[in-house]
Structure 1
Amino acid sequence: MDRGLRNVIALGLVSLFNDVSTEMVISLFPAFLIRILGAPMRILGVIEGASEAVSYILRAPFGYVSDRFRRRKPLVITGYGISTVVKPFLALATSWVHALTVRVFDRLGKAVRTAPRDALIADSVDRSISGKAFGIHRSLDQLGAIVGPVIAFSLLAIIGYRGVFLVSAIPGAVALLILAMVVKEVRPKSTRRSMNSSTGLKTPLTRDLTRYLIVTFIFSLGLYNYAFILAYAMNVCELRPEFTPLIYTLMNILHVMSGLPFGILGDAMGVLMALSIAYLLLCLSSLMALLVPSLVVLVAVTIIYGVFQGAFETLSRASIATIAREARGTAYGFFYVALGLGGLLGNFTIGALWDLAGYRIAFAYSAIMSLIAFFMIHAFFKPLIGKGS
C-alpha cells in the first residue's frame, strides 16, 4: 500500500476512536444537561452555540501556525489531547457552567487539530487521489458516530451518565496512541512564488481559493444539519419519537457508505464537478421534503441527505487540496470559517422560516441556495470542472 495512504488510514483510525469517545458524550449530553443538571433549553442553545463558534472561528489561526512552522503533527496531537483530557471531567459537573467549560475546551481541541489534520492528509498523497484519501478518512471518522452512541446507550443503564463520560477516555486514549506511534509527519511542499516577505509563507488567498470560499459560504447559507431531518420526521411525517434514532442511524450509515465512492468519483471526474453534484443532492433532498408527507418520502429524504453528507464532507475538503497548492493549513482554516459562519446563519434562517412560514418554505429556501451555489461553482471554475484532480 502507498505510504501516504497508510498515513491517511492511520489518521482515519485516530478520528474513528476519537469520534467514538466524542459521541459517547454528545449523545447523552442534552439529557444530562436538562435532566441531571436541571438546565433550561436556552442554556443548551447557549452551550452548543458557544462551543461551535470556538470550534470554527479558531481553526484559521491554528491552520496558519501549522503552515508557519511547517509541522502539522504536534498541533494534531495537541488538539486530540485537549479533547481526550477534558471530556471525562463532565462526570464531575454539578452545574451548567461546568458543562459549558468542558464543551468549550473540547471544541477548542477540535479547532486546534482540524485544519492541520486536513492539511496533513492533503500533504500525504498526490492531488490525483485526494478524493479517495478524504473519502477514506471521512468514512472511518463517521463510523465512530455510529459506534459511539451504541456503546453509550449500552452502558448507560449499568454505570449511568457520569460513568459513561469517564469511560469515554478509553477510546480517546487509543486515538492518541495511534496518532503518536503510527501517523507520520509530512513536511508541506514549498516554492518561492507568492511568498510573504515577513513570514516566508505563500499567500493562500489566491483568486481560485477566494472564489471557492464565496461559493462555500453561499451554499452553507442553505445548509441545514441533521436535526431538521429529525424534526421533519416527528413534526411533519408524524413519526413517533422513539423511532427517530432509526432515522439518525440510517442517515449515518449512508454517510459512511458514500464518502469513499464519491471521493473516487471526484478523482475520476474532477472534485469540483463531483462537489457540484453533492450540491444537487441537498437540493433534491429539500425538494423531496416538499412532497406530501409519508413514510416513503421520509425514507427517501433521509437516504438522499445521508448520501449528500458523505459526498459533501469528502469533496469539499478534497477541493481545497486541489485549489490550494501551498499554505494548506491556512486555506483549510479559512474554509472552515466560511463554512461555520455560513452554516450558523443558514441554520438560523431555515429555523426562522420554518417557524414563521412553515417547513415547505424553509426547505424551498435551502433548495434555491443549493442551486445558486451549483451555478456559481460552474461559473467560477469552468476551466476546472470536469477535469480530474
Structure 2
Amino acid sequence: MRVQRVSRSMLFVLLLGLVSLCADMTYEGARSITGPFLGTLGASGLVVGFVSGFGELMGYALRLGAGYLTDRTRRYWLLTFVGYTVNLLAVPLLALAGNWLAASLLIVVERCGKAIRTPARDAMLSHATRQMGHGWGFGLHEAMDQIGAATGPLLVFAILSLRHDYRLAFAALLAPAALALLALSLARWQFPRPQELETKAVPLSTHGFTATYWLYLGAVG
C-alpha cells in the first residue's frame, strides 16, 4: 500500500514538474528579451528598470494574500489554474502589444499570475512529497523547473537568430504555455484531491498513563 502511494506521489510530482518545465520555458524565455523589446517600443532605460522591479515586487507581495487564501479556502486547483492561466497567457499576448505601456502591463500581470499560483501549487507538492520525502520531491520538481528556465531563453535565442522578430518569439512561446496548461489539466484529472496523497498521522492520546510513567519520563528527560 505504501509503495503504491509513493508511486502515485512520484507521478504527481513528475506531472507538476512537467508543468513547471513548460511554464518556465514560457516566462523565462520571455523575460530574457522583455528589456530590449520595451526599448523597441520607445521605453527608456528608467521605464524598463521600473517595470522589472515593480513586477517582481507585485510577484512577491501578492504571495502573502494568495498563501492566506489557499489556507482559508483549500481551493488548491482553482488558484493554481487561475494563476497559471494568467501567468502563461500574458506572455504570448506580448506579441500583440502596440506600445510600451500595454507591454509593461502584461509583464506585471504575468508576475501577478505567478504569485497567485505558487502557494497553492507548493501546498499540493507538500502533500505529495510526505511519503516520498520532501527533499527528494521538491528537488526533483526544482530540477525540472530549472531545465525549463534554461531551455526557454535558448529557444528564444534560436528564433531571434533565424528571424530577428521579437513578436514572433513571444508568439512561439504559446506552444510551451499550452503544453503546461495541458499537463496541469491532466494532473487535475488524475489527482482531484492531492491532499489524500498524504497519510494522516494518528494522534496520540496521553490518557491512561500512570503517575509512575510520567515520573520516569521526567527523570530521563
Q: TM-score, structure 1 length as denominator?
A: 0.47
Contact 1:70 1:187 in 2 (8 A): no
Once the two structures are TM-superposed, the CA of residue 57 in structure 1 deviates from its matched residue by 0.5
Letter paired with 1:142: Q
Indicate the residue corresponding to 1:186 in structure 2.
Answer: 194
SS in 1 for 2:165: helix
The number of equivalent residue pairs is: 191
Indicate the residue corresponding to 2:157 in structure 1.
Answer: 153
Cα RMSD over matched residues?
A: 2.0
SS in 1 for 2:90: helix
Letter paired with 1:153: F
Structure 2 distance, partners of 1:4, 1:82, is 27
| 1:49 partnered with 2:59 | no
Contact 1:25 1:87 in 2 (8 A): yes
Once the two structures are TM-superposed, the CA of residue 15 in structure 1 deviates from its matched residue by 0.4
Structure 2 distance, partners of 1:128, 1:93, is 44
Match of 1:13 among 18, 24, 34: 18
Contact 2:9 2:131 in 1 (8 A): no
| 1:136 partnered with 2:144 | no
Indicate the residue corresponding to 1:225 in structure 2.
Answer: none
Equivalences for residues 44-193 of structure 1 within 5 A: 44-126=48-130, 129-156=133-160, 157-158=162-163, 160-183=165-188, 184=191, 185-187=193-195
Once the two structures are TM-superposed, the CA of residue 128 in structure 1 deviates from its matched residue by 6.8
Q: Identity over the aligned pairs, expressed in percent?
A: 36
Indicate the residue corresponding to 1:258 in structure 2.
Answer: none
Indicate the residue corresponding to 2:216 in structure 1.
Answer: none
Once the two structures are TM-superposed, the CA of residue 13 in structure 1 deviates from its matched residue by 0.6
158-167 vs 13-22, which moves further: 158-167
SS in 1 for 2:91: helix
Structure 1 distance, partners of 2:57, 2:11, is 33
Contact 2:9 2:132 in 1 (8 A): no
- Once the two structures are superposed, what CA deviation does each residue of 1:252-297 show, in whole Å capped at 9, x if it has no partner? xxxxxxxxxxxxxxxxxxxxxxxxxxxxxxxxxxxxxxxxxxxxxx
Structure 1 distance, partners of 2:187, 2:38, is 37
Once the two structures are TM-superposed, the CA of residue 62 in structure 1 deviates from its matched residue by 1.3
Match of 2:30 among 2, 10, 25: 25
SS in 2 for 1:2: helix
Q: TM-score, structure 2 length as denominator?
A: 0.80
Contact 1:19 1:145 in 2 (8 A): yes
Structure 2 distance, partners of 1:133, 1:151, is 27
Kindly name which structure, 1 or 2, has the bigger radius of gyration based on alpha carbons: 2
Contact 1:71 1:187 in 2 (8 A): no
Structure 1 distance, partners of 2:185, 2:119, is 18
SS in 1 for 2:194: coil
- Once the two structures are superposed, what CA deviation does each residue of 1:330-378 show, in whole Å capped at 9, x if it has no partner? xxxxxxxxxxxxxxxxxxxxxxxxxxxxxxxxxxxxxxxxxxxxxxxxx
- Once the two structures are superposed, what CA deviation does each residue of 1:182-214 show, in whole Å capped at 9, x if it has no partner? 2423137789x9xxxxxxxxxxxxxxxxxxxxx
Equivalences for residues 1-389 of structure 1 within 5 A: 2-34=7-39, 36-126=40-130, 129-156=133-160, 157-158=162-163, 160-183=165-188, 184=191, 185-187=193-195
SS in 1 for 2:195: coil
Contact 1:78 1:113 in 2 (8 A): yes
Once the two structures are TM-superposed, the CA of residue 95 in structure 1 deviates from its matched residue by 2.4
Letter paired with 2:36: A
Indicate the residue corresponding to 2:208 in structure 1.
Answer: none
Q: Which runs of 5+ in 2 are unaligned?
A: 1-5, 204-221
Once the two structures are TM-superposed, the CA of residue 123 in structure 1 deviates from its matched residue by 1.1
